[in-house]
Structure 1
């Protein structure tokens, strides 16, 4: 195991103040903020949280263009949630905003859809910032040293983290190999779906085989042993790291407070 001062990933500036924080502190901060935001269904609280999260992106040493590119799947998912709920929502409460045949958009439906879409982004964005600025090896070290996680679990998580880009590369190689053999869906959407499913199944089989070999190799190197392990480099959890967690809780509290002040807070329970 390696350790030492947290190293940010290549996507971030390693000297940025929040990028240098302990990986466990960054994970805890993201978790705390997510739990707070899941307590309400209104759109105001997640909107406030998103505004604060975007404001601190430079403190993580990231560029807004980089974050938006990494968030593209999340943005598409949020748009899908918004459109689906607006079209298919069962309860149509509030003032009618748009009535076009079977499509009926009301203020109640729009507020609910916006709340879910914005909460998806507000909960996911901290995770994007954490993993874009955290070295996987440092994360495994911090889990073992600061959280006392079992080494087998931490090293397994590290291995899975390292293998994720390899799976993406394997997907591209499988798609290129099929095109080279003349297997192409063209513009047929059904054929595209079939090829996507078959490629996904092939990738799943490949991932299981690689995971089995990796687990065997880890056991052979003593990762399944109960013998206490030492760390070459330390991951320290200092006052600044604790301050990050407290700050995340403060952002969550501020978001709820703004929702209360605006009179739109909609608790998940109650």
Structure 2
């Protein structure tokens, strides 16, 4: 089942920081890395992220499990560049008719894959150490986000785990009725599409009912709201954001010093 609950140790020093501070630190750290295409800066950033992971109270095995979908994205990047990259500079590694693999293509693919991991891992860490309710409260109290947006997003996050359960229920119901694709790949594809459509219809209906229920309870009222849990943004939270900016800039500086820096524009 899909879970959005925090998995960090509650006593970890960085896991206790304000949710907005952790989100801002992740955005700042990732934004700096978007400026380069070389593999050095993202590799340094990934090393930094893995080094500070114990401070967030997350085990490496848990992070690997949550970041597993990134491997599929990485494989897609490599395959796409190998097949369709316009720049084929560098030493030829494989020449098989229309398939031409060069060292330049693999270097570009490596840089993009590392950058994807370096940019995505901070977000994975933030959501693995943050309770969704605390994040919604902090967005309203500290980031001054509209309460309707924050609470609506929180409600949507809370419904995500139900999608996995509903998918299993639909599959079991169809299997009980004798609807099974067997080993036929075409039938499996058709069954997958129909199951996804049924899940989409159910999600839309549930979302509509939830929106009506929230409006009936005054979530769209213009009166000032109160909060059960106060979210305070302190000096330590500001230092976390500043530290993320410094570490991201340091990774870029090392790349420039080594002469491997490749700007995204220019």
> Smaller-chain TM-score range?
over 0.9
Of 21, 35, 51, 2:47 maps to 51
User: Which residue in 2 is equivalent to 1:196?
Assistant: 192
Unpaired runs of 5+ residues, structure 1, are 1-7
User: Which residue in 2 is equivalent to 1:3?
Assistant: none
Query: 1:53 & 1:211 partners in 2: Cα distance?
Result: 36
TM-score normalized by structure 2?
A: 0.94
**Which one is further off, 81-90 or 151-160?**
81-90
User: Which residue in 2 is equivalent to 1:107?
Assistant: 103
1:121 is aligned to 2:93: no
Deviation at 1:10, TM superposition (A): 4.5
User: Which residue in 2 is equivalent to 1:21?
Assistant: 17
Deviations 1:94-134 (A, max 9, x none): 12223344332212111111111111111111111111110
Of 164, 174, 180, 1:178 maps to 174
1:64 is aligned to 2:63: no
After superposition, residues 195-234 of structure 1 pair within 5 angstroms as 195-234=191-230
Deviation at 1:252, TM superposition (A): 1.2
Is 1:75–1:121's contact at 8 Å kept on the other side of the alignment?
A: no
TM-score normalized by structure 1?
A: 0.93
CA RMSD of the aligned region, Å? 1.5
Is 1:40–1:266's contact at 8 Å kept on the other side of the alignment?
A: yes
User: Which residue in 2 is equivalent to 1:237?
Assistant: 233
What secondary structure is seen at the aligned counterpart in 1 of 2:105?
helix
Of 61, 66, 86, 1:90 maps to 86
Of 7, 11, 17, 1:11 maps to 7
What secondary structure is seen at the aligned counterpart in 2 of 1:98?
strand
What secondary structure is seen at the aligned counterpart in 2 of 1:56?
helix
What secondary structure is seen at the aligned counterpart in 1 of 2:101?
strand
1:142 is aligned to 2:159: no
What secondary structure is seen at the aligned counterpart in 2 of 1:247?
helix
Q: Give the length in aligned residue pairs.
A: 263
Deviation at 1:215, TM superposition (A): 0.7
